[in-house]
Structure 1
C-alpha cells in the first residue's frame, strides 16, 4: 500500500512516496507560483493515496505551561480554552500533555504548539482540497523528532537534537527527560569566512544560554547536542564543535543512522526529511494540526476501503458457503440416485415375488371383517407385560418370596385356570403334606381345543408359582407371608388373588409327614401357588 508524504519548509515542498515500508520516489517543489503548478500536476497522480504533511517551519511556536491536575473531561476543556487563548489567529494548533510536576501540587505539564502564520499552509491545502486528495494529517517535525533519539537509544536528561531541513535551515529541538520543551528554526546564513560548524557552535551556545536563563539546567547538568550530518559535510562542521563542561557535541552519521533504521538507500545529504519520514512509517504519530474538515476525504477513503474489505469478506464467505451448499446438494443428489436405484431394484424383486405367488383374491367383505376384528379385538388385547408389572411392584415388598414360574392365559370365564407343572425344589423343608389314600388328585385341565372360539380377553388368569423362605420349622410365619402376598395383590385395582397351594396344606384329606435328622438347615424353601384373576375394564 502506497503512502504520500509532503515535507514542508519555508522554501521547499518535498514530496516523498513510500510503498511497502520503503521510500520509492522523491520530488521537490519551490515555494512559488511555478512550483505550485508543478505540485498540482504531481498531486493529480497521487489523488487516491493517503497524504501526510510534515511541517518544519519558522512560524511554529512552542509554549510550555502547567494546569491543575483534574479529571479527563475538565482537563480537555481547560486545554482547549488555553490553546485558543494563546493562539487566537490560527486554526493549526495542538496541545501535548507531557506529564506531571514532581513537587508542589503536581500539576500537569502541557506543551502548546501552533503554526502561527496560516498563510504558509493555505496554497498547499487549497490544492489538496481542489483535487480531493485524502489528507490524513498535518504533523510537526519538531514534535515528532523525539522519536529519532529514542530509536537511536540516545536517552539523556538534557538533549538538543540538531537537524538540517530542505531549504538551508537548521532545526534545534530541546528535550528534557525525553519530553520536548523548546524548538527553534534558524536559516543557514553564513557570514564571510564563517564555516558551517562555527555557525552551529554559535547557535547551539545561544540556545543553551536561553534555556539556562529559563533555569532548565542545574550546576551539574550538561546539554548533549546531537547533530545529524552527512559524512561529506562532517569536515566543515566537526573542527568548530568543541565540548565544554555544560555542552557536549555528538555527530550522528546520517548513513549509519539510516542503516540502523533500515532506510535504503541512505540520504545523499544532511537534510533529515527522509530519515524522519522513514521513521514515521515505522512509528506513526497522531494528527497534530489538521481539522476534521481537512481530513474529510481521508475519512471517506477509509470508510470506502472498510466497506470494500467487508464486501470482499462477505463475497468470499458467500462463495465458500455456496460451494459448501453445492457440495451438499451434489452429495444429496448422489444419495437420491442411489436410493432410487435401490428402490427400483426392490420394486422389481417385489413384482417378481408377487407374480410367482398363486392368485388368491380376498373379497371386500372378508377384508372389512378382518379390519373390524383387528380394531375391536386385537388392537387392545391384553399382554402379559401389562399384567405382571403391578404384581412385580407388590412382590418387591416381600423379600422372603421368590417367583419361580408363571402360567398366564386370557379367557371369557373367570374360573378358567392355566396348566402349571410343579417345580422340584432342592432345599425343601423336613415337613411336607401328603394326600391320604383314597383322596383324588386335582383333576387335570384339558388342553384347549384349536377349534375353540377366540377368547375376548375379558379375563386374564395366571398361576404364580413361588417359594417362601422357612426359618427352621416356622411354617406359621411362612403361611402368613404367602397369605399377605395374596392379600396385597388383591389390593391392586382390578386384581383378585387366592392361595391355590399353601406351603403347608392343612386342608381335610391331607396328612403331615416329617423327617428327623441330626442336623437341620437353618432355612428351607417351601413351594406355593397363587391364582390371580384380572378383569379388563369395559371400553
Structure 2
C-alpha cells in the first residue's frame, strides 16, 4: 500500500496520520466528543477516502493474563481457545491470545498470553465512523503488542532476560515487561499526577517491579533492566529520577537513536529532526506502517470493507496483468507479422533472382528436343516404373518356397500375366498395368504334374492339396484349382487297374492371383 491512514487512539482523542510514499505526515487530532467525531467524518471525506486504515490503540483498558491450556491441535484446539477467551473476556469482542511456548513440567500445556481491550465503547464511535464512510479498516493493533517488534529490532531481548521498556506517548507513559524478548505484561500511566506534576519515572518503575515480583514474573534478587526510550529533554529529567541498583538497572536511549537502530525514520519523517518530536507516537506508527502484521485484535464485521477493498485490488491487479499479457501477445504477433512480411519479401526477391539466373543460363544453351515439363514427367515416370512396375519375381519366389515343401510336384508350364480390371487385351497397355500410380494385380497360371505311384491315388490328391495350401499361406496370394489331378465330377468316367506302376503322371492346373 503506498497510501495508508494511521489512527492513534487514546482514551480521550484520536490522532489521524497519513503514510504516503514512505513518509509520515500529520497529525490531525480529534477529541472523543460529538464535535470531534463530526470533524473526523469531515476529515475522512476529504482526505483520501479510499485509502486503507490501520488503527493503533494505546489504552489503559488493555488487560493481560497468562494462562495454561491443554495442548490440543486442529479445530478442537481453536474451539477450546475461543471458549477460554470468551470466559475470560466476556464483555468485549477485542480479545486475542499469543502462544509463548509450552510448560516444561507436567503434561506440557501451552503457555498463552491473553489480552483484550476491555472497554469496547472507547473504540465503537470511531469504528462506526469508519464504517459509515466505508473506509477499509485493515487491522486493529495495540502499542504493547507492537512493542515486541520494536524490542526485537533494537536487539534488547537478546541482551536482557528481564526487560522493562518505558516509552512516553500521547496517552501517557507505557511500561511493558518482556522476558527473553516475549511480552508478558504492560501498563499505561498518565504522564501527570492529580496535581498536574510530571510523574516520577523511577517511582513508577519501582511500582511495576514490585507488581512483577508479586505475580512471580520476576524472582526476588533478579535484576530488571529498564530501558527508557524518549526525546533528549525527557531523558535528562528521567535520568535524574532513576538510580540503578542491584535489582534495577536503567538504560537511556534517545528517541532518534532508537529509530535509527530499528531501521526507522521515526519523527524525522515529519520533516523535523527526530529529537524535535515530543513523543514516541510516530515511532510506533512508522513501525506499524512498514511491517503491517496481521491484525492483532479481531474486527469482525468492521473489516468487511477492507475485504471488499482487497478483492477490488486483486481484480484490478489481475486486469492489469491480463492487459499487459494481451499487449505482449499483440506485440509479439505484430513483430512476427512484420518478420514474416520481411522474410516473404526476401524470398520473393530470391526467387526472382533464381528465375533470372535460370533464364540467363537457358539462353546460352541450345534448344532442347522436349520441353522441361515433359522431361520432368519422364523422370517421374521412370522412377515409378523402377519402384512399382510389376515383375514375376515375387510370385515365382512364393512358388519356389511351396515346391521346397512339396517336392513331389513338378512344374510343366507357367503363364504370368498382368492386366487391369476390365482392360481390353488387344488395346494399348494402360498405365495402371505398368505400375502407375500403384502396383497392379498379377496372376500366374501353373501347370504341374505328380508322378503316378501304384495304388497311391489318395497320395497324389494329398500332394496337390498340400501344394495348394502351402501357396495359400501367403496373405496376398489367392489360390484357385482350375483342374485337379482327379476329376470326381458326376460326368467323369472313373477307371483304374491294379497293374504295375509307370503310367503317365497326373496333371493339374492352379490359378494364382497376387494382390498389390
- 1:192–1:60: structure 2 CA closer, same or farther, 3 Å change rule? closer
Q: What is the distance in 2 between the residues matched to 1:236 and 1:219?
A: 28
Question: Cα offset for 1:145?
Answer: 0.7
TM-score normalized by the length of structure 1:
0.64
* Paired position in structure 1 for 2:339: 331
Q: 1:181-192 counterparts in 2 under 5 A? A: 181-190=184-193
Q: Deviations over 1:110-167 (max 9, x none)?
A: 1111111111011111110111111000011111112111111112211111111214
Q: What is the distance in 1 between the residues matched to 2:196 and 2:356?
A: 115
Question: Cα offset for 1:185?
Answer: 1.3
Range with greater deviation from structure 2 (331-340 or 88-97): 331-340
* Paired position in structure 2 for 1:34: 35
The answer to whether residue 162 in structure 2 is matched with residue 158 in structure 1 is yes
* Paired position in structure 2 for 1:318: 326
Q: What is the distance in 1 between the residues matched to 2:224 and 2:277?
A: 26
- 1:538–1:257: structure 2 CA closer, same or farther, 3 Å change rule? closer
* Paired position in structure 2 for 1:504: none
Where in structure 1 are there 5+ consecutive unaligned residues? 361-369, 391-411, 415-452, 460-492, 495-534
Q: What is the distance in 2 between the residues matched to 1:379 and 1:259?
A: 90
Match of 2:96 among 91, 94, 97: 94
Range with greater deviation from structure 2 (15-24 or 128-137): 15-24
CA contact (8 A) 1:12 1:29 kept: yes
Match of 2:179 among 176, 185, 188: 176
- The residue matched to 1:295 in structure 2 has which SS? helix
Q: 1:216-365 counterparts in 2 under 5 A? A: 216-260=217-261, 261-263=263-265, 265=268, 266=274, 268-336=276-344, 342=351
Q: Relative to total residues, which structure has the larger helix share, 1 or 2?
A: 2
Q: 1:13-28 counterparts in 2 under 5 A? A: 13-28=14-29
CA contact (8 A) 1:174 1:182 kept: yes
CA contact (8 A) 1:173 1:180 kept: yes
CA contact (8 A) 1:65 1:109 kept: yes
- 1:142–1:51: structure 2 CA closer, same or farther, 3 Å change rule? same
* Paired position in structure 1 for 2:77: 75
Range with greater deviation from structure 2 (308-317 or 255-264): 255-264
Question: Cα offset for 1:274?
Answer: 0.8
* Paired position in structure 1 for 2:147: 145
CA contact (8 A) 2:395 2:514 kept: no
* Paired position in structure 2 for 1:407: none
- 1:349–1:294: structure 2 CA closer, same or farther, 3 Å change rule? same
Match of 2:117 among 112, 115, 118: 115
Question: Cα offset for 1:284?
Answer: 2.8
Question: Cα offset for 1:39?
Answer: 1.7
Return the index of the structure with the highest Cα Rg. 1
TM-score normalized by the length of structure 2:
0.67
Instruction: Give the CA RMSD over aligned residues.
Output: 4.1
CA contact (8 A) 2:30 2:37 kept: yes
Q: What is the distance in 1 between the residues matched to 2:300 and 2:197?
A: 46
